[in-house]
Amino acid sequence: MNLSRYVPLGVLACFPAVAFAHPGHMEQGFMAGLLHPLTGMDHLLAMLALGIWAALQKGSLRWALPLTFLGALSLGFVMGHSGWTLPQVETGISLSVLLLGLLVAATVRLPAFIALALAAVFALFHGYAHGLEAIGSVQSFAAGFLLASLGLHLIGVLLTLGLQKHQPVVTRILGALVAASGALMVVAA
């Protein structure tokens, strides 16, 4: 089965099919959470890069990275919504984009413990920021935001699996572009 045919469909599925001509739509709950990761470049790039990096790994780490990320994302969300203090959140998020981009560009395979720890730390920052921003039904918002994050991870994995067989250099270029975006975010943070 040629997965590269289905990658564009997966990407298109992430975009809303409804136009919103004025404010007042979906300000709370599941849809707000679902759309939130797709509207912030930092989260969008980090989720895709994590999926790409995961696909470059061997064995169970390929799936352990996204699952660990989602678990820590949930914990960070609870921390942010509960009022915990996490210093330098924007810097941590920006650095996560930069470092994930570099890991992809260099096709780095770290020992599992280090890779999972990095993914968890990155996820705490992203989850914390989303927990602070959660509105409306917090449980519904969290479900939407976690589902969108998982979807972005899967798009990254499928994109990489499709590209690696025929165009492995494209994966490295994507990583470099994510790293460059992350560097700009670090400067702006």
Is position 9 within any domain? no
d(CA 141, CA 53): 26
Distance CA(130)–CA(137), nearest Å, equals 13
The conformation of residue 44, written as its DSSP 8-state character, comes to: H
In a domain, 111, yes or no: yes
- 67 falls within a domain: yes
pLDDT at 105: 97
Total structural domains within the chain? 1
Residue 16 placed within a domain: no
In a domain, 10, yes or no: no
Rounded distance between C-alpha atoms, residue 93 and residue 75, angstroms: 15
Kindly write down the DSSP assignment for every residue of 157-174, as one continuous string: HHHHHHHHHH-HHHHHHH
pLDDT score, position 13: 54
Question: Which pLDDT belongs to residue 24?
Answer: 44
Which pLDDT value is given to residue 8?
55
Domain that residue 128 falls in: 28-188
Whole-model pTM: value is: 0.84
Average pLDDT per consecutive 10 residues, the chain (189 residues; last block may be shorter): 56 48 58 91 97 95 97 97 94 98 96 98 97 87 95 95 84 96 94
Residue 5 counted as domain residue: no
